[in-house]
Amino acid sequence: MKIDKIVVGPLQENCYILTKNNKVIIIDPGDEYSKIKEKINGEVIAILITHSHFDHVGALEELHKEYFSPIYQNENLKEQDYEIEDFKFKVIKTYGHTNDSVTYYFYEENIMFTGDFIFKESVGRTDLPTGNINEMNMSIQKISEYSDDILIYPGHGDSTTLGYEKKNNYYFN
């Protein structure tokens, strides 16, 4: 699977374009529709949303109109495994930053897209509407059960590994 990271919008949000066998999944199209569209090389088969903050969904409507692909977000997801063409992933509800935050775990590639749940050496704010520190702590406990070698692609900033976060992220201790 090829992963392209496109940094978009005034809050420098990470939009990801996953490509496998000429099929494309877009994760968190936050802004700058034309910049995202430019990077798409294949048939868009789904758009995944980690949470509904404006900086993660700003280009969603335009992309949906262009490609008519299904949108996966918390309202229509269960905490289970999904398979879209050659893409296989598990949805993990990781509330705390918002009450609709989910993590997408592509287990065959051993990678997670965490949105604003986990950042390198930090976590998403819990003081915004629908944020909740207790739910964040429960989500951290849940994600801590996963393997240390999982690569994490966050909604902002640099990628990291779950093992690194377990050792270096204040919120995991």
Spatial separation of the C-alpha atoms in residues 15 and 13, rounded to whole Å? 6
Residue spans of the chain under pLDDT 70: none
Structural domain that includes position 77: 2-172
Q: How many domains does the chain have?
A: 1
Q: DSSP string covering 94-146, please?
A: --SSSTT-EEEEETTTTEEEEETSEETTEE--SSSTT--HHHHHHHHHHHHTS
At 28, which CATH number? Answer: 3.60.15.10
pTM of the model: 0.97
Q: Please write the tens of the pLDDT for every residue from 81-90.
A: 999 999 999 9
Which pLDDT belongs to residue 76?
A: 83
Answer yes or no: are the C-beta atoms of 17 and 24 closer than 8 Å.
yes
